[in-house]
Amino acid sequence: MTDHAVMDELKTLVDPGKVLTDPASLEAYGKDWTKHYPPAPSAIVLPKSIEQVQAIVAWANRHRIALVPSGGRTGLSGAAVAAHGEVVVAFDAMNRILDFNPFDRTVVCQPGVITRQLQQFAEEQGLYYPVDFASSGSSQIGGNIGTNAGGIKVIRYGMTRNWVAGLKVVTGKGELLELNRDLIKNATGYDLRQLFIGAEGTLGFVVEATMRLERAPRNLTAMVLGTPDFDSIMPVLHAFQNKLDLTAFEFFSDKGLARILARGDVPAPFDSACPFYALLEFEASTEQVAEQALATFEHCVEQGWVLDGVMSQSETQLRNLWKLREYLSETISHWTPYKNDISVTVSKVPAFLRDIDAVVAEHYPHYEVVWYGHIGDGNLHLNILKPEHLDKDTFFASCARVNKWVFEIVERYNGSISAEHGVGMTKRDYLGYSRSAQEIACMKAIKAVFDPNGIMNPGKIFAPE
Ligand code: MLT
Ligand code: ZN
């Protein structure tokens, strides 16, 4: 069959006009937010049903064509990039909420449901979908499941994995599997659902997901606290965790704050300038909780861990304080940063950050480093901004050296090279820093079970052999 005939066959499997090959679509659907890899898919296909997804996978197996799943394309690891002539399977046309069960507090979603759509749906029911991050306005549930997305509320609610009650997946063989039947308790052997969560589309495609909802939080209140140094942040976390149930504990550096304030659309939290800032959030459900928070703040000031602070008094103030943290990623994207999303256990964070900071400062004294992250769960984001005069390729080549040093430290601290963004292409060569050779061999064997022809998102998680 000619290439042309193969593509014509694909067109018969979906609705008219749902195979795109125009240059603008290939460019738009072939990449994610990493922007490191020039997109080069051969076509984009937009199925609208599970049957159509199965037909596409069967077609890809017949012709040995690689498929790349595509959601909101907000990923930061290149997992949804099609750089080698793959066919992109985009889930934009499977974007409906199919069912809601108020008793079980579950929502059945197609994979293309936008995260915010689910959050708003939950709110309309008086409930809450707690997985949240800056890209929730465009990321899709299927993609969140594919990367086991984390975000800003993990300290209280955990990762996406915790909210998936059941899954329907089309495996690389084209089989439809229904996993876990939405049950809370199910002790019938291997939980295959968990294998597909965080698999980055390398085993199969999520075609339906039953997501759990939670009771809505009461009177969320945020505090931003300025600290004299990084080491003071940890005792502050400890002090607040001893007194309150935190829903978030984030941090950012003065350099990050400076970039945010330079935008001109976010108010400064307070007048004093501090080297580091912690943003914490809790439910001020009673007067006593708010008083406890203030008493803890005063204790932290007395100990010298906090120099200044502010507590939100309204929804608007809460939102404005969150902007200081949530706008960081998008704001610094202007400087094409080298990014990563490393993690260690929380108690090791101060020593870990100090070691990495020292290595970066020693080798790159002239680069601007912006630290921020979800420090309450041990996940730090190291961002190195590209100097204006350096071209992108030279900058990223020098950052490949940073990767090695940073990941050696991660390995030494028994941490993870990817806490929440996934391995994709950016970290596939470094997987061995977080996973043993035996583990990687098991992972590859599992892939071979579900995807014997290697058509599902090849070259992601594992380097091509
Ligand atoms: C964040 O925490 O803001 C996101 O993970 C994105 C990023 O790391 O820039
Ligand atoms: Zn993050």
Distance (Å, whole) CA 102 – CA 115 = 19
Q: Which atom from ligand 1 is nearest to the alpha carbon of 421?
A: 5
> Which residues face 112 on adjacent strands?
none
Mutate which of 133, 250, 253 for ligand 1 pocket (most atoms within 8 A of beta carbon): 133
Residue 173 sits in the same domain as residue 114: yes
DSSP tag of 370: E
Q: What is the mean pLDDT of the chain?
A: 97
Distance of alpha carbon 232 from its chain centroid, rounded? 27
Ligand 1 site residues, Cβ closer than 6 angstroms: 133-134, 328-329, 339, 341, 381
Full residue range of the structural domain in which residue 277 is found:
220-329
Mutate which of 259, 328, 427 for ligand 1 pocket (most atoms within 8 A of beta carbon): 328
Among candidate residues 32, 60, 90, the one where a domain is terminated: 90
Among candidate residues 50, 73, 90, the one where a domain is terminated: 90
Q: What are phi and psi of 343, to 5 degrees?
A: -145, 155
pLDDT tens sequence across 20-63: 999 999 999 999 999 789 999 999 999 999 999 999 999 999 99
Residue 77 sits in the same domain as residue 140: no
pLDDT tens sequence across 100-122: 999 999 999 999 999 999 999 99
Higher local confidence (pLDDT), 225 or 367: 225
- The answer to whether residue 65 is domain-embedded is yes
Residue 211 sits in the same domain as residue 224: no
- The answer to whether residue 73 is domain-embedded is yes
* Ligand that lies nearest to the alpha carbon of residue 74, given by its number in the listed order: 1
Q: Kindly state the average pLDDT of the residues 310-326.
A: 98
pLDDT tens sequence across 62-106: 999 999 999 999 999 999 999 999 999 999 999 999 999 999 999
- The answer to whether residue 446 is domain-embedded is no
Instruction: Give residue 258's pLDDT band: very low, low, confident or very high (50, 70, 90).
Output: very high
Query: 7 C-alpha vs ligand 2 centroid, how far in Å?
Result: 39
Q: Which ranges constitute the DSSP H helices of 303-430? A: 315-326, 328-332, 349-363, 392-412
pLDDT of residue 41: 98
Residue 210 sits in the same domain as residue 224: no
**Cβ neighbours of residue 66 under 8 Å, at least 6 residues apart?**
60, 84, 85, 86, 87, 454, 455, 456, 457, 458
Residue nearest to atom 4 of ligand 1 (CA): 329
pLDDT tens sequence across 165-202: 999 999 999 999 999 999 999 999 999 999 999 999 99
> Which residues face 67 on adjacent strands?
87, 456
363, pLDDT greater than 90? no
Residue 47 sits in the same domain as residue 75: yes
Give the total number of structural domains in the chain: 4
- The answer to whether residue 174 is domain-embedded is yes
CATH code for the domain in which residue 418 is found? 3.30.70.2740
Residue 80 sits in the same domain as residue 101: no
Residue 101 sits in the same domain as residue 207: yes
Residue nearest to atom 1 of ligand 1 (CA): 329
- The answer to whether residue 369 is domain-embedded is yes
Among candidate residues 162, 182, 215, the one where a domain is terminated: 215
CATH code for the domain in which residue 308 is found? 3.30.70.2190
Query: 376 C-alpha vs ligand 2 centroid, how far in Å?
Result: 12
Residue 352 sits in the same domain as residue 432: yes
Q: Which atom from ligand 1 is nearest to the alpha carbon of 329?
A: 9
Q: In whole angstroms, how far apart are CA 199 and each of 65, 92, 339, 421, 429?
A: 19, 20, 21, 12, 16
CATH code for the domain in which residue 198 is found? 3.30.465.10
**Burial (CB count within 10 angstroms: exposed 0-12, middle 13-18, buried 19+), residue 429:** middle
Query: 54 C-alpha vs ligand 2 centroid, how far in Å?
Result: 33
* Ligand that lies nearest to the alpha carbon of residue 328, given by its number in the listed order: 1
* Ligand that lies nearest to the alpha carbon of residue 134, given by its number in the listed order: 1
- The answer to whether residue 448 is domain-embedded is no
Helix (H) / strand (E) containing 157: helix 154-157
